[in-house]
Amino acid sequence: MLHGTCVTADGAWRPNRAMWQQIATEFAQVGPWLQQHPPAQAELAVALSPPAAWALSIDPTDDNMQYETLFRDRIHAPLQARGLWRDVIGKDADLSPTACCACH
């Protein structure tokens, strides 16, 4: 979905129309279940900074400084592997209980 659309500006379908239709059908089938089973509230939050990633991509501190890769491999993946339910948030995220979970 790099282009972000299913249809071109002139209304023609992009490639894989059948796949898009299958995905829509499957979402329609699981939609009611998903609405009845909201995600659990995370008890752990990890801040991710797109501006920092952008700045470090322009002027990295060393040759191995790849913010997104380091975040994924050294922070997010180990938490996931340990089964810790986590949210990735921005630095200005509202951490109040009612803001953190849509099910409140």
Q: Are 45 and 51 in contact (CB under 8 A)?
A: no
For 5-15, write each residue's pLDDT tens digit: 788 888 888 88
Domain borders along the chain are 1-37, 44-100
Q: 3-state SS of 37-63?
A: CCCCCCCEEEECCHHHHHHHHHCCCCC
Which pTM value belongs to this model? Answer: 0.52
The tens digit of pLDDT for each residue in 20-41 reads 889 999 999 999 999 999 888 7
